[in-house]
Amino acid sequence: MFDGSGASEHSAAGPSAAPKSSEVNREGGAGATGQNSGGVGPGERVSDADLKNTAGPYDARAVAPVNHHVLNQAAAGVDDSHEMWDGAAAVIFTVATVVTGPGELIGLGAEGAANAASGARLARALAYEESSAAGVAELLAGGGKVIAGPGARAELRVAGKLASEYGGSAADWVKVTSTGSGPVQIHAYRNVVTGFLTDLKSIIP
């Protein structure tokens, strides 16, 4: 299990180290034919036949027992059967619930405000993302509003550069903005003759 060997028994075996009811269903799990009957019921153990069909050396009897690295140093003979770990997890959860409260344990108590803030941030980030995507889609579809260049009050600063870089004349270029009401607007340069769109950027009003 935790020692990496696949062995789950301990050499310094105390009374609890032996797998509980280990022999009760060892052979019965595979059925009379020795084939996998499928599934292991409560209280049953995995059959030898099933163990042989697995990839790992899970059959404790086939591998020399190895001390548990951590637990057996502190308390020799710790049972690391799944029943023990199930029980241990239940105890840990119970204690944690009593000490911290169930809400706090799952992040709704003392850290609730922080989590609520995280939720708000996530919601805002999602709104920004959706707004950006909608704005880009609008401009790519030929929509949007001209805010600079021919047809607008403000003059383009780099119309000549756009023409020399992407073609057309300076008068062909405008700056457009998306028109959605979301938290982000998309600005871009558009060649009104060809519809070519470039230099998109997001603006947060």
Partner 1 sequence: MINTAGSVERAQAIAKKALAGELDPLMACRDLAALRAGLVTVPEGTLDVFVAIASEIDDLPLGSERELWAAEVLETKDAEAADYRGRVSSVVSTALRELLVALKPEEWAPGDP
Footprint on this chain of partner 1 (rule: CB under 8 A) = 145, 147-148, 152-158, 175, 177, 187, 201, 203, 205
What are the φ/ψ torsions at residue 116 (nearest 5 degrees)?
-65, -40
Q: Which is nearer to partner 1, 136 or 145 (CB)?
A: 145
Long-range contacts of 110-114 (CB under 8 A, 24+ apart): none
Written as one letter, the residue type at 179 is T
197/142 Cα distance (integer angstroms): 9
Q: Measured from the CB atom, is 30 or 186 closer to partner 1?
A: 186
Report, in Å, the least distance between residue 145 CB and partner 1: 8
Distance of closest approach, residue 97 Cβ to partner 1, in angstroms: 46
Residue 148: CB minimum distance to partner 1, A? 4
Q: Least distance to partner 1 from the beta carbon of 142, Å?
A: 19
Is the sign of the CA dihedral 12, 16, 18, 19 positive or negative? negative
Q: How many angstroms separate the first and last alpha carbons of the chain?
A: 56
Work out the number of other CB atoms within 10 angstroms of the CB of residue 96.
13
CA 102 to chain centre: 23
For residue 154, the minimal CB distance to partner 1 (Å) is 4
**Tokens 């499928």 label which residue?**
38
| C-beta closer to partner 1: residue 18 or 200 | 200
Of 52 and 157, which CB lies nearer to partner 1 in the complex structure?
A: 157
Q: Structure tokens of 119?
A: 């939720």
> Which residue's CB is nearer to partner 1, number 26 or number 175?
175
Nearer to partner 1, 29 or 144 (CB): 144
For residues 114 and 112, give the distance between their C-alpha atoms in angstroms, rounded to a whole number. 5
Q: CB burial class (10 A; 0-12, 13-18, 19+) of residue 7? A: buried
The least CB distance from residue 203 to partner 1, in Å, is 7
